[in-house]
Structure 1
Amino acid sequence: MKPQLQKIPLPVDQSFSIKTDISKKFYSQWHYHPEMELVWIIEGNGTALIGDSIINIGNDILLMVGSDLPHLFRSDDDGSKYESAITETITVHFTTEILSSFLALPENKNILSLIEKSKLGLKINGETKRIVTNYLKHLSYMQNTQRLISLLQILNTLAESDEHHPISGNTLKVFTNKQDENRLNRIYHYTLNNFHREITLKDISDIIHLTPHAFCRYFKSRTKKKYSQFLLEVRVSHACKLLKETDFSIGVISFESGFMNLSNFNRHFKQITGKTPLQYKKHRY
Structure 2
Amino acid sequence: MISGKEKGTLEVIVSECDEAIRWSEHGYPSSLARWHHHPEIEIHLIREGTGFMMAGDAMVPFHEGQVFMLGPNVPHNWISDLDVGQTQPERDVLCQIHPNRLNSLIRVFPEASSLYGLLRRSERAVVLDGPSAAKAARILSEMGTCAGLSRLASLLYLLQVFVDAPPDEWSCVVTPGYSCNVTSGSEDRINAVLSYIGEHLSEEMSLQRVAQEISMSGPAFSRFFKQAAGVSFSNMVRRLRIAKACRLLDSTNFGIARIQEECGYVNTANFNRRFRQETGMTPSEYRRRHR
- Note if contact 2:272-2:283 (Cα within 8 Å) is conserved in structure 1: yes
The equivalent of 1:234 in structure 2 is 240
The alpha carbon displacement at 1:144 in A equals 1.8
Which of 99, 103, 106 matches 2:106?
Answer: 103
Q: Which moved more, 1:4-13 or 1:272-281?
A: 4-13
Write the distance in 2 (CA, Å) between the matches of 1:89 and 1:226. Answer: 29
Write the distance in 2 (CA, Å) between the matches of 1:138 and 1:40. Answer: 12
What code does the residue aligned with 1:17 have?
Answer: R
The equivalent of 1:50 in structure 2 is 55
Aligned residues: 281
- Whether 1:249 and 2:255 are equivalent positions in the alignment is yes
- Note if contact 1:66-1:119 (Cα within 8 Å) is conserved in structure 2: yes
Amino-acid identity (%) = 26
Matches within 5 A, 1:146-161: 146-161=150-165
Write the distance in 2 (CA, Å) between the matches of 1:220 and 1:20. Answer: 31
- Whether 1:176 and 2:190 are equivalent positions in the alignment is no
Structure 1 residues 101 and 176, CA gap change in structure 2 (3 angstroms): closer
Which of 198, 201, 211 matches 1:205?
Answer: 211
> Could you say what secondary structure the match of 1:264 adopts?
helix
- Whether 1:89 and 2:88 are equivalent positions in the alignment is no
CA RMSD between the two structures: 2.0
> Could you say what secondary structure the match of 2:290 adopts?
coil
Which of 106, 121, 124 matches 2:125?
Answer: 121
Which of 7, 13, 17 matches 1:12?
Answer: 17
Structure 1 residues 277 and 138, CA gap change in structure 2 (3 angstroms): same
Write the distance in 1 (CA, Å) between the matches of 2:98 and 2:237. Answer: 33
The alpha carbon displacement at 1:130 in A equals 2.2
- Note if contact 1:269-1:277 (Cα within 8 Å) is conserved in structure 2: yes
The alpha carbon displacement at 1:139 in A equals 1.6
What code does the residue aligned with 1:101 have?
Answer: S
For 1:216-246, what per-residue CA distance to the aligned partner results, in whole angstroms no more than 9, with x for missing partners? 2332233343211211111111001000011
The alpha carbon displacement at 1:200 in A equals 0.9
The equivalent of 1:283 in structure 2 is 289
Which consecutive unaligned segments of at least 5 residues does structure 1 have? none
Q: Which has the higher contact order (CA 8 A, sep 6+)?
A: 2
Write the distance in 2 (CA, Å) between the matches of 1:34 and 1:177. Answer: 13
What code does the residue aligned with 1:70 have?
Answer: P
The equivalent of 2:43 in structure 1 is 38
Structure 1 length normalisation: TM-score? Answer: 0.90
> Could you say what secondary structure the match of 2:47 adopts?
strand
- Note if contact 2:8-2:228 (Cα within 8 Å) is conserved in structure 1: no
The alpha carbon displacement at 1:81 in A equals 2.9
- Note if contact 2:44-2:94 (Cα within 8 Å) is conserved in structure 1: yes
Write the distance in 1 (CA, Å) between the matches of 2:224 and 2:141. Answer: 42
Which consecutive unaligned segments of at least 5 residues does structure 2 have? 1-5
> Could you say what secondary structure the match of 1:29 adopts?
coil
- Note if contact 2:49-2:63 (Cα within 8 Å) is conserved in structure 1: yes
